[in-house]
Structure 1
Amino acid sequence: MKHLQQFEALFNHATIGIILCNKDAEIINFNAQAETQFGYKKEELVGKKIEVLLPQKYRGSHVQDRNRFYAHPENKVMGHGRDLHGQKKDGAEFPVEVSLSHYRDEDNIYAIAFVIDITVRKNNEIAVNRHREELQEITRQVTLLNSDLEQKVENRTKMLRETLAELEKSKKEVTEALEKEKELGDLKSGFVTMASHEFRTPLSTILSSAFLLSKYNGPDDEDKREKHINRIKDAVNDMKSILEDFLSLGKLEDGLVKAKTADFSAAEYREELQHTIEGMMQIAKQGQRIAFSHEGESDIRVDISLLKNIIINLCSNAIKFSPANGNIEVRSLNNGPMLTVSVKDNGIGISEEDQQHLFERFFRAKNAVNIQGTGLGLHIISKYAELLNASISLRSELGNGTEFTISIPQNEKDLTG
């Protein structure tokens, strides 16, 4: 008796629908979950054929299917690649997953159907397809953006060639020609800097998130998909911001870029910088690791875009001037009056002599002349720091790495004024 009660409790309180049919495909038992799924009470279905729970268009063919099952019963999952649907009492159809089992009692055979409502799963599949379409559209926009950039570079290169040709023909205007050449050289350096520092990281973020997005296609991966779609959108927006605000170094030096400070909680700030560090890992050398930490739970007031650009530039340099398998540390501390952010590497280091000129435009340290670079990165960092009213300190020794520290006051009023 006790075992019977336990079985009835298991049957009635199961979280999937359970339907019991006799050899004539008549329903003889129907648990509470099945009542919820189909909208019928058990008493309404006992004695009726199982086909009453199927959409009208499938009932005819199902009679043959269940006759074959009773002739050769075996446990199986129904569907095999095709969608199955049930029909509620009110006529509404819904997608289901059905597993069949059976048992014998003397000369009688009984079929047990285990029914799962997969409406949520199907909706998730629709969401996945929608996100995939959004990703394709983002990819198309990035492709168009790259094409536009290539065209601009080609046009600028053509302009450089034409200008140089004119300079050769205008030897009488030597002073003017040399000045023009310098301006064009600055412009070219600006493009190189933009490509090597600003554009590489958001493009890497887009590519890595697009790759990871294709792997998160399960019903429980909605948050992960949304996260990477947002990272792609953020990266595209960052590139758009770069095009608008940092097309050339001249905008910074002419005062056309302003700091736009905002308040961030410690969690928001930590997440923003963590995404930036994760993006930098896409360009890291083999075995290189970038560790990020933040201390302090007070709110932070900063132009997060300018700060991320500083970190991107410093991390890019740390990656470039450090060996494979090396460690790079990004540490942040908010002690109330001051927010400090440091980037430390174990790379080639900088001599004391070169440290005196490090933030000058086009300056390259003597031990870095054979490493690709324009000599503009640290100069740009100094301009960003000025906009943040921040100071920059440096500790470095040849062969023993470098550590840059940015100190940003937190008790200052809005810097945009």
Structure 2
Amino acid sequence: MQAHTKAKTNGDEQWFEALFSYATIGIIVTDKKGFIINFNKQAERDFGYKKEEIISKPIETLLPAAVKMKHEHYRADFYAHPSPRAMGHGRDLFAQKKDGSVFPVEVSLSNYEVNSEIFVIAFVIDITVRKDHEQMVIKQKEELERITSEIKQLNSGLEKKVEDRTKMLRETLSALEKSKLELSDALKVEKDLGELKSRFVSMASHEFKTPLSTILSSAFLLEKYNSLDEPEKRAKHISRIKNAVNDMRLILDDFLSLDKLDEGLIQTSMENIPAIALFGDIRNTINEIQVNCKPGQTIQFEHNGSAAVCIDKHLLKNIFINLMSNAIKFSPEHSVIHVYCTINETGLVLSIQDHGIGISEEDLQHLFQRFFRAKNAFNIQGTGLGLHIVTKYLELMNGTIKIDSRLNEGSTFTIYIPQIITA
């Protein structure tokens, strides 16, 4: 019987020793004076000490220097009133490895008695990974809040711009109505004006509604992607919102340019530009707008001439960007857009040739009227103001524009600015 009891006791001790040694959390046992008397394998891995190195060392050996003295007080208090408890209670706890590095931990305490002597068991868990994840979650939450705030500010500013431009649109419509009354004696003119008004209202409604619908749908979907593991979906819709806002900005820029032209606020700044400098400016502008090309579209630039020409560089760039944007927009993918620039004895000749949808003879005679959209381009984004603004800019430089176009074959826009070299 004694042999059986002794064997059972030895078996229990081996079982408990295995449980202690191979537990997946650190276990540290101290005596009533706070000296370490046992130290399991997980604790060795967490703290970097071998068991034989740390045995008989005070428990404060495993604590950062800043908390060692305070811990002696806490330890004394626990021994005075021992009971199982979790340490920290909302505070961040840290332990110190053998190499001096500090890491966050969770600690639970328990106690037991042997021969009336109290021993304390500390269960220690390294929570470095959890803390890192918590910090990552906090940063992602802050980033999401920042993006949401920016979108709200963007929407607020956009609403104000839409309100201002809507007022301007009402004023423009009022001006169109007044023109209709003034030309009521000519039935054909009245009919053309009515058609123009209808196209303008449709254009304004479509051009503002499309980006606003994009913003609204993306903002709605953005609210659904609040999960921190969907950054790509949030970025996609934020990009859509930014692109839609940029589209509206371009529309509003056309209206602003028209206002300034009508009020006579745009003045020319003519200067003599050497041919090589002008050709370089044109090539730089082509590089800038190349990013707007459709897949496979290319732009070929040819030039000749060596004389200087007197122009307003800013106005010429705006004219060129407008004509190039139309060529890109109305041409198919994998097509070539040709740009020819010549400076001769009489002035500057700049041509943009595309192989796009072309313009009918019927529409050609109205092409430079404000808000006019060719019938085959009505479903393509645009304000109908670009070519009207181009002609106004050319008038300021005594220039002219000529169009050669056929349906489904392409168009060539050629501008001419006479050479007037100043002394």
The bucket for the TM-score relative to the shorter chain is 0.5 to 0.7
Report the TM-score, using the length of structure 1 for normalisation: 0.53
Name 2:216's counterpart in structure 1.
Answer: 200
CA distance in 2, matches of 1:260, 1:130: 38
Of 16, 39, 45, the residue aligned with 2:25 is: 16
Name 1:172's counterpart in structure 2.
Answer: 182
Name 2:44's counterpart in structure 1.
Answer: 35
Of 75, 84, 94, the residue aligned with 2:93 is: 84
Name 1:121's counterpart in structure 2.
Answer: 130
Name 1:240's counterpart in structure 2.
Answer: 242
Counterpart amino acid of residue 188 in structure 1: A
Counterpart amino acid of residue 65 in structure 1: Y
Secondary structure (helix, strand or coil) at the match of 1:226 reads: coil
Give the count of matched residue pairs.
Answer: 245
Name 1:226's counterpart in structure 2.
Answer: 229
Name 2:75's counterpart in structure 1.
Answer: 66
Change (3 A) 1:81 1:59: same
Counterpart amino acid of residue 79 in structure 2: Y
CA distance in 1, matches of 2:92, 2:151: 37
The runs of 5 or more residues in structure 1 that have no matched partner are 214-224, 250-256, 262-381, 385-417
Change (3 A) 1:15 1:133: same
Instruction: Say whether the 8 Å CA contact 1:191–1:247 is kept in structure 2.
Output: no
Change (3 A) 1:169 1:196: closer
Change (3 A) 1:52 1:123: same
Counterpart amino acid of residue 26 in structure 2: G
> 1:10-409 alignment to 2 at 5 Å?
10-170=19-179, 171-173=181-183, 174-175=190-191, 177-191=193-207, 193-194=209-210, 197-210=213-226, 213=227, 225-227=228-230, 229-243=231-245
CA distance in 1, matches of 2:232, 2:61: 46
Instruction: Say whether the 8 Å CA contact 1:160–1:184 is kept in structure 2.
Output: no
Instruction: Say whether the 8 Å CA contact 1:187–1:248 is kept in structure 2.
Output: no
Change (3 A) 1:152 1:108: same
Instruction: Say whether the 8 Å CA contact 1:99–1:115 is kept in structure 2.
Output: yes
Secondary structure (helix, strand or coil) at the match of 1:188 reads: helix
Instruction: Say whether the 8 Å CA contact 1:190–1:247 is kept in structure 2.
Output: no
Counterpart amino acid of residue 198 in structure 1: T
Counterpart amino acid of residue 242 in structure 2: K
Secondary structure (helix, strand or coil) at the match of 1:139 reads: helix
CA distance in 2, matches of 1:100, 1:44: 23
Report the TM-score, using the length of structure 2 for normalisation: 0.53
Change (3 A) 1:153 1:196: closer
Counterpart amino acid of residue 55 in structure 2: V
Secondary structure (helix, strand or coil) at the match of 1:25 reads: coil
Q: Deviations over 1:157-207 (max 9, x none)?
A: 122211122123221243454244223311332156426743332111112
Q: Deviations over 1:368-388 (max 9, x none)?
A: xxxxxxxxxxxxxx999xxxx
Counterpart amino acid of residue 233 in structure 2: R
Counterpart amino acid of residue 237 in structure 1: S
Shift, 1:241, TM fit = 3.6
Change (3 A) 1:50 1:106: same
Shift, 1:245, TM fit = 6.4
Instruction: Say whether the 8 Å CA contact 2:212–2:244 is kept in structure 1.
Output: no
Secondary structure (helix, strand or coil) at the match of 2:105 reads: strand
Q: Deviations over 1:61-106 (max 9, x none)?
A: 1111111111111111100111111011111111111000111112
Instruction: Say whether the 8 Å CA contact 1:77–1:100 is kept in structure 2.
Output: yes
Secondary structure (helix, strand or coil) at the match of 2:57 reads: coil
Q: Deviations over 1:109-160 (max 9, x none)?
A: 1100000111111111211121122112311331233134323322331222
Q: Deviations over 1:381-410 (max 9, x none)?
A: x999xxxxxxxxxxxxxxxxxxxxxxxxxx
Secondary structure (helix, strand or coil) at the match of 1:109 reads: strand
**Could you tell me the percent identity over the aligned residues?**
44
CA distance in 2, matches of 1:158, 1:197: 20
Bigger Rg over Cα: 2
CA distance in 1, matches of 2:380, 2:175: 34
Shift, 1:25, TM fit = 1.0
CA distance in 2, matches of 1:123, 1:91: 20
Instruction: Say whether the 8 Å CA contact 2:211–2:247 is kept in structure 1.
Output: no
Shift, 1:246, TM fit = 8.8
Q: RMSD in angstroms over aligned alpha carbons? A: 3.0
